[in-house]
Structure 1
Amino acid sequence: MDFSTHKRYHVHGFDSRQFLEHYFSDKSEMVFGDDTLKFVIENLRQVFSGGHINGDILIDLSSGSIIHHLYSACEFFKNIIVLKVNNRCIMELKRWVDERTGAFYWGHTSKLLQEKEENSDQFQDQEAKLRSALQHVVKCDLEKENMTDPLVLPLADCIISTWLLGVISKDQDDYIRYLRKFSRLLKPGGHIISIGTLGTTYYTVGKDKFHVFTFDEDFLRKSLIGEGFIIDYCNVKDRMAVSDITDYKAVIFIAAHKEK
């Protein structure tokens, strides 16, 4: 595929609100809920409940202004640092954190988590907990050696990357380069959780089509192992949604830890 015919997420940016409406809202025409919402929340709940992934610092490197993948995380980490490549996504995220008028509604996603818990009452204030944890939102430049220069971040116990690696990478070498750069933010023995789509070439936001590097499960596994990770958990869900605004074949959730 000639990726040059499509826009690039971290180069051109996109309408962050439209991105949320297309792929993460509670609107009846949003057909991706099983893949982008339920699948993500259920798998994160499962890996965190195992008790092996926790600590002081979690760094989130994810596409757009999504927050639902961090509901479970705020129960297991003292601090969550969110890195974003463009100002529009930062503004959208902070609008929700600060409970400003017009912020995107995420209540439907916190309810999905509550439905999975035996005692859902304890999650009634889940959004408040997450807002409290999301006080560190930092602009980053993916091409710099230190992505947050001049700020030097403490090493993280865990990194979550949701739908980002695929949209910023041109090819296999690019993907591995970014994965290596992300992994440098981890402590020895730290964990990485990667969520993405398989067999994708594009996704649409508004009238614009954006590039996605096409890869399969085998490539992702080999990339992680090649960078010194041991895979602890992997789940793949075939696509059921019918829509032409993106062409992914499946969604993948993979958790691994870095060898000491």
Structure 2
Amino acid sequence: MGTTFFTPNFQTSPVLQGPKTAYTKPKTREGQAMGNFLIDLSIGSFIHHLYSASNFFKEMVVLKSNEKCIMELSRWLHDRTGAYDWKHASTVVAELEDKRDQHQNIEMRLKSSIRQVLKCNFEQENITSPVELPLADCVVSGLLLDNICKNEDEYMKNLEKIIQLLKPGGQLLLFSSIDKSYMIVSGERFHSFKYSENFVKNAFDKLGLIIDYCAVQRRRSMNECNDYKAIMFTAAHKGE
């Protein structure tokens, strides 16, 4: 049976500004994501994008390339002292799901879905080695490739490694920052691989991904923390 994936509704304004993320009310498209197992490969220790996914995917594995991100996410997952409080995010999701008094249940729903938080290494052919994961029904990747790739060749190579995590017919949901060349975190400036919307579409096509849906939200306000021009969401499936 097909499930539902959430995509940003680019016609709405942010309903909440988190410390680093704007949340917008999602819209749904039926019959796109199928199965029970999801792998997340996203920047930092963010988990807000997985709250809605936990409605449909009962088993998730979160992959992180940074030990500090693993530590921070493990603190939250196991309710340890000093964990970041994601209540603002679960509250928004509760409102969007018409469950305004159930944000704690939504928090627990996501925590029960996350089975493992693992280290990944894109220098390896199998990025989860020595762990062998089952192939996923869906892989979500948010802004990670922007920050681990230096050029087009690295982007293509790393995207291909992400695709290898998918079952035939499985779906990739990719969030991309368009025309971003840097980001500043805690006063330190980090390089970002700068690319266009067409580059992403062409990369998917070259690697055999079939695009099901694509949307772009242009930047509405500026700050000195980064210089992206737009956020792009692309949903595509792997050939059978």
Q: Per the shorter chain, which TM-score range?
A: 0.7 to 0.9
2:118 matches 1:138 = yes
* Inter-partner Cα distance in structure 1 for 2:97 and 2:118: 32
Residue matched to 2:141: 161
Higher relative contact order (CA 8 A, sep 6+): 1
Amino acid at match of 2:75: R
- Given the alignment of the two structures, is residue 125 of structure 1 paired with residue 142 of structure 2, yes or no? no
Match of residue 111 from structure 1: 91
Q: How does 1:77-116 map to 2 (within 5 A)?
A: 77-116=57-96
Aligned to 2:208: 228
Structure 2 Cα separation of the partners of residues 120 and 191 of structure 1: 30
Once the 2 structures are TM-superposed, how far is the Cα of residue 120 of structure 1 from its aligned partner?
4.2
Q: What count of residue pairs does the alignment treat as equivalent? A: 225
In the TM superposition, residue 252 of structure 1 has moved relative to its aligned partner by 0.9
Q: Which runs of 5+ in 1 are unaligned?
A: 1-24
**CA–CA distance in 2 between the matches of 1:219 and 1:114?**
36
Q: Distance in 1 between matches of 2:84 and 2:62?
A: 18
Q: Which amino acid aligns with 2:139?
A: I
Distance in 2, matches of 1:202 and 1:240, equals 18
Paired AA for residue 46 in structure 1: T
Q: Which has the higher helix share?
A: 1
> Please, what TM-score do these two structures have when normalized by structure 1?
0.81
Provide the rounded CA distance (Å) in 1 between the counterparts of 2:89 and 2:103. Answer: 12
Please state if 1:46 is matched with 2:28.
yes
Give how far 1:119 is off.
4.6
Question: Normalising by structure 2, what TM-score?
Answer: 0.88
* CA RMSD after TM alignment: 1.8
Pairwise CA distance, 1:196: 1.7
More displaced stretch, 152-161 vs 98-107: 98-107
Deviation at 1:111, TM superposition (A): 2.0
Give the corresponding residue for 2:194.
214
Distance, in Å, in 1 between the alignment partners of 2:98 and 2:68 is 38
1:204 is matched by which residue type in structure 2? I
Q: Which amino acid aligns with 2:173?
A: I
Q: Which residue of 2 aligns with 1:174?
A: 154
Q: Percent identity?
A: 44
The residue number in structure 1 matching 2:178 is 198
* Structure with more strand by fraction: 2
Determine if contact 1:55/1:78 at 8 Å carries over to the other structure.
Answer: no
